[in-house]
Amino acid sequence: MPEASSMRRALRGSLSNSATAAVFLAGGQAALLAGGLHAASAHDLPLGDDKITDAPRAGYVFSCQQRFNKNTPGAHSSGDWLGASTWNPEKKPHVEGSVTWPARISIELEGDRRVVRANNLPTHPTGVFPIRRSDPAYRYDRNNGRITEQDILLELPAVPAVAAAPSCVPMGMIGFSLTNAAQYNALDGRGDDAPAHEMQDSCGGHPQERGQYHYHNMTPCIDDTRSQPGGHSDLVGYAIDGFGMFGKYGQDGKTLTNADLDACHGHAHVIDWDGQQRSLYHYHMTDEYPYSIGCFMGTPVNVPGSVSGAPQRPREGAGRRPPERRGGPGGREQVLSKAAAELGVSTETLRKAVGPPPPDFQQASRLLGIPANEIRRALDAARGR
Protein backbone atom coordinates (compact mmCIF):
# COMPACT_ATOMS: atom_id res chain seq x y z
CA MET A 1 0.00 0.00 0.00
CA PRO A 2 2.38 2.71 -1.14
CA GLU A 3 -0.12 5.52 -0.67
CA ALA A 4 -0.94 4.64 2.89
CA SER A 5 2.67 4.34 3.90
CA SER A 6 3.71 7.53 2.18
CA MET A 7 0.89 9.31 3.97
CA ARG A 8 2.14 7.91 7.23
CA ARG A 9 5.69 8.84 6.49
CA ALA A 10 4.46 12.36 5.85
CA LEU A 11 2.53 12.46 9.12
CA ARG A 12 5.37 10.86 11.00
CA GLY A 13 8.02 13.11 9.61
CA SER A 14 8.39 16.83 10.06
CA LEU A 15 5.42 18.17 8.19
CA SER A 16 6.02 21.51 6.62
CA ASN A 17 2.37 22.46 6.52
CA SER A 18 -0.99 21.03 7.34
CA ALA A 19 -2.28 21.21 3.78
CA THR A 20 0.22 18.51 2.84
CA ALA A 21 -1.20 16.22 5.48
CA ALA A 22 -4.76 16.84 4.40
CA VAL A 23 -3.96 16.04 0.78
CA PHE A 24 -2.16 12.87 1.73
CA LEU A 25 -5.06 11.78 3.90
CA ALA A 26 -7.61 12.29 1.17
CA GLY A 27 -5.47 10.22 -1.19
CA GLY A 28 -4.52 7.62 1.37
CA GLN A 29 -8.02 6.91 2.55
CA ALA A 30 -8.93 4.34 -0.06
CA ALA A 31 -5.58 2.61 0.26
CA LEU A 32 -5.90 2.45 4.03
CA LEU A 33 -9.30 0.96 3.79
CA ALA A 34 -8.57 -1.52 1.06
CA GLY A 35 -5.61 -2.88 2.96
CA GLY A 36 -7.23 -2.68 6.33
CA LEU A 37 -10.45 -4.63 6.36
CA HIS A 38 -9.16 -8.04 7.14
CA ALA A 39 -10.28 -10.22 9.99
CA ALA A 40 -8.51 -10.12 13.34
CA SER A 41 -7.05 -13.15 15.08
CA ALA A 42 -8.48 -16.57 14.32
CA HIS A 43 -8.22 -17.45 17.98
CA ASP A 44 -10.19 -16.73 21.07
CA LEU A 45 -8.69 -13.93 23.12
CA PRO A 46 -8.58 -13.85 26.91
CA LEU A 47 -11.29 -11.61 28.32
CA GLY A 48 -9.96 -8.60 30.24
CA ASP A 49 -12.92 -8.04 32.58
CA ASP A 50 -11.84 -6.93 36.05
CA LYS A 51 -8.21 -6.60 35.02
CA ILE A 52 -7.96 -3.16 36.56
CA THR A 53 -5.20 -2.23 38.95
CA ASP A 54 -4.13 0.74 41.06
CA ALA A 55 -0.44 0.29 40.29
CA PRO A 56 1.48 -0.58 37.10
CA ARG A 57 0.94 -4.26 36.24
CA ALA A 58 1.46 -6.06 32.93
CA GLY A 59 -1.76 -7.28 31.34
CA TYR A 60 -3.84 -4.82 33.35
CA VAL A 61 -5.13 -1.28 33.00
CA PHE A 62 -3.64 0.99 35.66
CA SER A 63 -6.82 3.05 35.75
CA CYS A 64 -7.26 6.49 37.32
CA GLN A 65 -10.90 5.59 37.85
CA GLN A 66 -11.03 2.77 40.37
CA ARG A 67 -14.74 2.38 40.95
CA PHE A 68 -17.11 1.48 38.15
CA ASN A 69 -20.85 1.45 38.02
CA LYS A 70 -21.96 -1.84 36.54
CA ASN A 71 -25.29 -0.20 35.62
CA THR A 72 -23.69 2.34 33.29
CA PRO A 73 -25.41 2.28 29.89
CA GLY A 74 -23.52 0.25 27.32
CA ALA A 75 -23.80 -3.14 25.76
CA HIS A 76 -26.76 -4.75 27.48
CA SER A 77 -26.53 -8.30 26.29
CA SER A 78 -24.01 -10.60 24.72
CA GLY A 79 -23.93 -13.32 22.15
CA ASP A 80 -21.97 -16.40 21.24
CA TRP A 81 -18.69 -14.54 20.68
CA LEU A 82 -18.30 -14.18 24.41
CA GLY A 83 -17.22 -17.11 26.57
CA ALA A 84 -16.70 -17.26 30.32
CA SER A 85 -13.09 -16.14 30.10
CA THR A 86 -12.49 -15.59 26.37
CA TRP A 87 -14.01 -13.78 23.42
CA ASN A 88 -13.79 -14.29 19.68
CA PRO A 89 -13.46 -11.10 17.60
CA GLU A 90 -14.41 -12.97 14.42
CA LYS A 91 -17.80 -13.99 15.73
CA LYS A 92 -18.68 -10.56 17.12
CA PRO A 93 -21.09 -8.44 15.03
CA HIS A 94 -20.03 -5.01 13.77
CA VAL A 95 -22.14 -1.92 13.50
CA GLU A 96 -23.17 -1.78 9.85
CA GLY A 97 -22.78 1.00 7.33
CA SER A 98 -20.13 2.90 5.43
CA VAL A 99 -20.25 6.61 6.17
CA THR A 100 -17.42 8.82 4.90
CA TRP A 101 -16.23 11.94 6.69
CA PRO A 102 -14.38 15.16 5.87
CA ALA A 103 -11.29 14.34 7.91
CA ARG A 104 -8.91 17.15 8.85
CA ILE A 105 -5.74 16.33 10.72
CA SER A 106 -2.34 17.92 10.87
CA ILE A 107 0.62 16.90 12.98
CA GLU A 108 3.44 19.39 12.98
CA LEU A 109 6.73 19.81 14.75
CA GLU A 110 6.92 23.29 16.24
CA GLY A 111 10.15 23.77 18.15
CA ASP A 112 10.25 21.19 20.92
CA ARG A 113 6.55 20.39 20.57
CA ARG A 114 4.51 18.16 18.34
CA VAL A 115 1.18 19.79 17.73
CA VAL A 116 -1.84 17.74 16.69
CA ARG A 117 -4.74 19.74 15.28
CA ALA A 118 -7.65 17.63 14.16
CA ASN A 119 -11.41 17.46 13.79
CA ASN A 120 -11.49 13.82 14.94
CA LEU A 121 -13.57 12.67 11.96
CA PRO A 122 -11.96 9.43 10.83
CA THR A 123 -10.04 9.04 7.57
CA HIS A 124 -11.86 5.74 6.96
CA PRO A 125 -15.58 5.04 6.59
CA THR A 126 -17.51 4.28 9.77
CA GLY A 127 -20.67 2.43 10.67
CA VAL A 128 -23.99 4.24 11.06
CA PHE A 129 -24.42 5.77 14.53
CA PRO A 130 -26.68 5.98 16.46
CA ILE A 131 -26.94 2.23 15.89
CA ARG A 132 -30.06 1.62 13.79
CA ARG A 133 -32.82 -0.59 15.14
CA SER A 134 -32.49 -2.72 12.01
CA ASP A 135 -28.78 -3.32 12.67
CA PRO A 136 -28.08 -6.75 14.21
CA ALA A 137 -25.68 -4.97 16.60
CA TYR A 138 -28.67 -3.08 18.07
CA ARG A 139 -29.68 -6.25 19.83
CA TYR A 140 -26.55 -6.04 21.94
CA ASP A 141 -25.78 -2.35 22.24
CA ARG A 142 -28.01 0.71 21.79
CA ASN A 143 -25.23 3.25 21.58
CA ASN A 144 -27.16 6.40 20.65
CA GLY A 145 -24.04 8.53 20.29
CA ARG A 146 -23.67 10.41 17.02
CA ILE A 147 -20.21 10.89 15.51
CA THR A 148 -19.45 14.56 16.03
CA GLU A 149 -16.57 16.79 14.99
CA GLN A 150 -14.25 17.57 17.90
CA ASP A 151 -11.75 20.36 18.27
CA ILE A 152 -8.53 18.48 18.99
CA LEU A 153 -5.44 20.43 19.95
CA LEU A 154 -2.68 18.37 21.50
CA GLU A 155 0.64 19.96 22.29
CA LEU A 156 2.93 17.05 22.96
CA PRO A 157 6.64 16.99 23.69
CA ALA A 158 8.41 16.23 20.40
CA VAL A 159 10.86 13.98 22.22
CA PRO A 160 9.16 12.86 25.43
CA ALA A 161 11.03 11.82 28.57
CA VAL A 162 10.21 8.94 30.87
CA ALA A 163 8.64 10.31 34.09
CA ALA A 164 9.87 9.49 37.61
CA ALA A 165 7.04 6.98 37.96
CA PRO A 166 4.36 5.61 35.62
CA SER A 167 0.92 7.15 35.99
CA CYS A 168 -2.64 5.92 35.56
CA VAL A 169 -4.67 6.19 32.35
CA PRO A 170 -7.93 8.17 32.49
CA MET A 171 -11.22 7.36 30.82
CA GLY A 172 -11.48 9.28 27.55
CA MET A 173 -8.65 10.06 25.19
CA ILE A 174 -5.25 8.55 26.03
CA GLY A 175 -3.82 8.79 22.53
CA PHE A 176 -4.61 9.93 19.02
CA SER A 177 -4.50 7.73 15.94
CA LEU A 178 -3.12 8.79 12.56
CA THR A 179 -6.57 7.82 11.24
CA ASN A 180 -7.99 10.87 13.09
CA ALA A 181 -9.70 8.83 15.80
CA ALA A 182 -9.13 9.06 19.53
CA GLN A 183 -7.56 6.11 21.30
CA TYR A 184 -9.24 5.18 24.59
CA ASN A 185 -8.11 2.63 27.14
CA ALA A 186 -9.43 -0.95 27.18
CA LEU A 187 -12.28 -0.21 29.58
CA ASP A 188 -15.92 0.50 28.90
CA GLY A 189 -18.04 2.57 31.29
CA ARG A 190 -18.52 -0.45 33.52
CA GLY A 191 -14.83 -1.22 33.75
CA ASP A 192 -15.19 -4.25 31.48
CA ASP A 193 -13.23 -5.21 28.36
CA ALA A 194 -14.64 -2.71 25.84
CA PRO A 195 -13.62 -4.44 22.57
CA ALA A 196 -15.17 -7.68 23.86
CA HIS A 197 -18.48 -6.24 25.04
CA GLU A 198 -19.33 -3.02 23.20
CA MET A 199 -20.43 -2.81 19.60
CA GLN A 200 -17.92 -1.14 17.31
CA ASP A 201 -17.97 -0.72 13.57
CA SER A 202 -15.71 -2.78 11.31
CA CYS A 203 -12.87 -0.31 11.97
CA GLY A 204 -13.14 -0.94 15.72
CA GLY A 205 -14.56 2.49 16.48
CA HIS A 206 -17.69 4.11 17.86
CA PRO A 207 -18.73 7.46 19.34
CA GLN A 208 -19.09 8.17 23.06
CA GLU A 209 -21.93 10.30 24.42
CA ARG A 210 -20.40 13.58 23.23
CA GLY A 211 -19.82 12.04 19.82
CA GLN A 212 -16.08 11.50 19.99
CA TYR A 213 -15.15 8.67 17.62
CA HIS A 214 -12.62 6.38 19.30
CA TYR A 215 -11.07 2.93 19.43
CA HIS A 216 -10.32 0.72 22.43
CA ASN A 217 -7.80 -1.45 20.62
CA MET A 218 -5.87 -1.45 17.35
CA THR A 219 -8.04 -0.45 14.43
CA PRO A 220 -7.97 -2.96 11.57
CA CYS A 221 -8.42 0.03 9.24
CA ILE A 222 -4.81 1.11 9.35
CA ASP A 223 -2.25 -1.18 7.77
CA ASP A 224 0.22 -2.49 10.30
CA THR A 225 3.03 -1.65 7.88
CA ARG A 226 6.75 -2.16 8.39
CA SER A 227 9.24 0.16 6.77
CA GLN A 228 11.62 -2.77 6.62
CA PRO A 229 10.14 -6.07 5.37
CA GLY A 230 9.67 -8.39 8.33
CA GLY A 231 10.70 -5.64 10.71
CA HIS A 232 9.23 -3.44 13.42
CA SER A 233 5.75 -1.96 12.98
CA ASP A 234 5.41 1.63 11.85
CA LEU A 235 3.86 4.38 13.91
CA VAL A 236 0.05 4.32 14.20
CA GLY A 237 -0.49 7.23 16.60
CA TYR A 238 0.71 9.24 19.57
CA ALA A 239 -0.03 8.73 23.24
CA ILE A 240 -0.94 11.92 25.10
CA ASP A 241 2.41 11.77 26.88
CA GLY A 242 4.05 12.21 23.47
CA PHE A 243 5.44 8.70 23.08
CA GLY A 244 4.66 6.85 19.88
CA MET A 245 2.12 4.07 19.49
CA PHE A 246 3.17 1.33 17.10
CA GLY A 247 1.50 -1.76 15.65
CA LYS A 248 1.88 -5.24 17.04
CA TYR A 249 5.25 -6.18 15.53
CA GLY A 250 8.41 -5.73 17.54
CA GLN A 251 12.03 -6.00 16.49
CA ASP A 252 12.67 -8.61 13.81
CA GLY A 253 8.95 -8.73 13.14
CA LYS A 254 8.05 -10.64 16.29
CA THR A 255 4.32 -10.52 17.08
CA LEU A 256 4.31 -9.00 20.52
CA THR A 257 2.39 -10.20 23.55
CA ASN A 258 2.18 -8.82 27.07
CA ALA A 259 5.17 -10.99 27.99
CA ASP A 260 7.34 -8.91 25.65
CA LEU A 261 6.21 -5.57 27.04
CA ASP A 262 6.43 -3.73 30.35
CA ALA A 263 3.54 -2.85 32.67
CA CYS A 264 2.63 0.19 30.56
CA HIS A 265 2.51 -1.94 27.37
CA GLY A 266 5.69 -0.61 25.85
CA HIS A 267 9.47 -0.84 25.80
CA ALA A 268 12.51 1.12 24.67
CA HIS A 269 14.85 0.42 21.76
CA VAL A 270 16.05 2.18 18.63
CA ILE A 271 13.14 3.34 16.48
CA ASP A 272 12.57 5.69 13.58
CA TRP A 273 11.49 8.94 15.24
CA ASP A 274 10.83 11.87 12.93
CA GLY A 275 13.19 10.38 10.40
CA GLN A 276 16.00 9.77 12.87
CA GLN A 277 17.12 6.55 14.47
CA ARG A 278 17.02 6.96 18.23
CA SER A 279 16.59 4.82 21.30
CA LEU A 280 13.25 5.86 22.70
CA TYR A 281 10.41 4.45 24.75
CA HIS A 282 7.19 3.63 22.83
CA TYR A 283 3.95 1.70 23.20
CA HIS A 284 2.78 -1.22 21.15
CA MET A 285 -0.73 -2.25 20.18
CA THR A 286 -1.41 -5.97 20.66
CA ASP A 287 -4.26 -8.41 20.15
CA GLU A 288 -4.06 -9.13 23.84
CA TYR A 289 -5.77 -7.10 26.58
CA PRO A 290 -5.14 -4.26 27.45
CA TYR A 291 -4.59 -3.81 23.68
CA SER A 292 -2.91 -0.40 23.95
CA ILE A 293 -1.51 1.77 26.75
CA GLY A 294 -1.74 0.22 30.25
CA CYS A 295 -0.21 3.24 32.00
CA PHE A 296 1.76 6.33 31.01
CA MET A 297 5.53 6.12 31.07
CA GLY A 298 5.80 9.83 30.30
CA THR A 299 3.84 12.82 31.55
CA PRO A 300 0.42 13.07 29.88
CA VAL A 301 -0.82 16.47 28.75
CA ASN A 302 -4.17 17.60 30.04
CA VAL A 303 -7.06 16.63 27.83
CA PRO A 304 -10.29 18.54 28.50
CA GLY A 305 -13.03 16.28 29.80
CA SER A 306 -10.90 13.46 31.14
CA VAL A 307 -9.82 12.91 34.71
CA SER A 308 -6.17 12.04 35.09
CA GLY A 309 -3.67 12.15 37.92
CA ALA A 310 -3.81 9.86 40.92
CA PRO A 311 -6.31 6.99 40.92
CA GLN A 312 -9.71 8.21 42.11
CA ARG A 313 -10.84 6.19 45.09
CA PRO A 314 -13.95 6.60 47.18
CA ARG A 315 -13.13 8.81 50.13
CA GLU A 316 -13.36 6.70 53.22
CA GLY A 317 -15.28 8.34 56.05
CA ALA A 318 -15.71 11.57 54.12
CA GLY A 319 -19.47 11.31 54.46
CA ARG A 320 -19.93 10.80 50.75
CA ARG A 321 -21.11 7.75 48.98
CA PRO A 322 -18.61 6.32 46.52
CA PRO A 323 -19.75 7.15 42.98
CA GLU A 324 -20.55 3.55 42.09
CA ARG A 325 -23.29 3.49 44.71
CA ARG A 326 -25.30 5.96 42.67
CA GLY A 327 -26.76 3.13 40.65
CA GLY A 328 -26.29 0.34 43.14
CA PRO A 329 -28.41 -0.64 46.12
CA GLY A 330 -29.15 2.45 48.19
CA GLY A 331 -27.96 4.65 45.32
CA ARG A 332 -29.98 7.53 43.94
CA GLU A 333 -31.41 5.53 41.05
CA GLN A 334 -32.61 2.82 43.36
CA VAL A 335 -34.05 5.32 45.84
CA LEU A 336 -35.88 7.16 43.07
CA SER A 337 -37.35 4.03 41.56
CA LYS A 338 -38.49 2.65 44.93
CA ALA A 339 -40.06 5.97 45.93
CA ALA A 340 -41.65 6.36 42.50
CA ALA A 341 -43.26 2.93 42.78
CA GLU A 342 -44.54 3.89 46.24
CA LEU A 343 -46.00 7.15 44.90
CA GLY A 344 -47.43 5.56 41.77
CA VAL A 345 -45.44 7.63 39.28
CA SER A 346 -42.61 6.72 36.91
CA THR A 347 -39.00 7.07 38.06
CA GLU A 348 -38.40 9.60 35.29
CA THR A 349 -41.37 11.71 36.38
CA LEU A 350 -40.21 11.71 39.98
CA ARG A 351 -36.64 12.54 38.97
CA LYS A 352 -37.79 15.56 36.99
CA ALA A 353 -40.19 16.65 39.71
CA VAL A 354 -37.65 16.68 42.56
CA GLY A 355 -34.86 18.04 40.37
CA PRO A 356 -31.15 17.56 41.04
CA PRO A 357 -30.14 16.88 44.67
CA PRO A 358 -31.15 18.11 47.16
CA PRO A 359 -34.77 17.25 46.29
CA ASP A 360 -37.17 20.19 45.91
CA PHE A 361 -40.27 18.85 47.70
CA GLN A 362 -42.41 21.95 47.13
CA GLN A 363 -41.79 21.89 43.39
CA ALA A 364 -42.38 18.12 43.28
CA SER A 365 -45.64 18.55 45.17
CA ARG A 366 -46.88 21.16 42.67
CA LEU A 367 -45.87 19.07 39.67
CA LEU A 368 -47.14 15.73 40.93
CA GLY A 369 -50.17 16.91 42.87
CA ILE A 370 -48.96 14.89 45.87
CA PRO A 371 -48.42 16.51 49.29
CA ALA A 372 -44.75 17.41 49.90
CA ASN A 373 -44.53 15.43 53.14
CA GLU A 374 -45.72 12.29 51.35
CA ILE A 375 -42.98 12.62 48.76
CA ARG A 376 -40.42 13.21 51.51
CA ARG A 377 -41.68 10.15 53.39
CA ALA A 378 -41.48 7.95 50.29
CA LEU A 379 -37.90 9.05 49.55
CA ASP A 380 -36.82 8.62 53.17
CA ALA A 381 -38.35 5.14 53.29
CA ALA A 382 -36.64 4.23 50.01
CA ARG A 383 -33.32 5.36 51.48
CA GLY A 384 -33.96 3.12 54.48
CA ARG A 385 -34.25 6.04 56.87
Binding site for Zn ion (CB under 5 A): 250
Q: Return all residues near 342 (Cβ < 8 A) that are at least 6 apart.
A: 378, 381, 382
Give per-residue burial for 39-71: e unless 16+ CB within 10 Å, then b: ebeeebbbbbbebbbeebebbbbbbbbbebbee
Nearest to Zn ion of 160, 250 (CB atom): 250
Nearest to Zn ion of 179, 334 (CB atom): 179
Strand partners, 110: 113
Strands 266-273 and 235-239: unpaired
Give per-residue burial for 200-220: e unless 16+ CB within 10 Å, then b: bbbbbbbbbeeebbbbbbbbb
Q: In angstroms, what CA-CA distances link 383 with 156, 316, 319, 329, 331?
A: 48, 20, 15, 9, 8
Q: How far is the CB of 262 from Zn ion (least distance, A)?
A: 11
Nearest to Zn ion of 253, 344 (CB atom): 253
Q: How far is the CB of 378 from Zn ion (least distance, A)?
A: 37
For residue 111, the surrounding DSSP H or E stretch is: none
Nearest to Zn ion of 198, 324 (CB atom): 198
Query: Are the CB atoms for 223 and 36 separated by under 8 Å?
Result: yes
Rg (CA), the chain: 23
For residue 334, the surrounding DSSP H or E stretch is: helix 332-343
Q: How far is the CB of 139 from Zn ion (least distance, A)?
A: 18
Nearest to Zn ion of 35, 250 (CB atom): 250
Q: How far is the CB of 241 from Zn ion (least distance, A)?
A: 16
The total number of residues shown for the chain amounts to: 385
Which residue has the CB atom at the shortest distance from Zn ion? 250
Q: How far is the CB of 313 from Zn ion (least distance, A)?
A: 23
Q: How far is the CB of 194 from Zn ion (least distance, A)?
A: 5
Nearest to Zn ion of 170, 250 (CB atom): 250
Nearest to Zn ion of 89, 250 (CB atom): 250
Nearest to Zn ion of 272, 324 (CB atom): 272
Q: How far is the CB of 210 from Zn ion (least distance, A)?
A: 12
Q: How far is the CB of 205 from Zn ion (least distance, A)?
A: 8
Nearest to Zn ion of 145, 330 (CB atom): 145
In angstroms, the CA 214 to CA 95 distance is 14
HSE-CB for 106 with a 13 A CA cutoff? 13
Q: In angstroms, what CA-CA distances link 168 with 65, 120, 159, 304, 363?
A: 9, 24, 21, 16, 43
Among candidate residues 175, 220, 215, 223, the one with its CA nearest the CA of residue 28? 223
Q: How far is the CB of 200 from Zn ion (least distance, A)?
A: 7
In angstroms, the CA 331 to CA 351 distance is 13
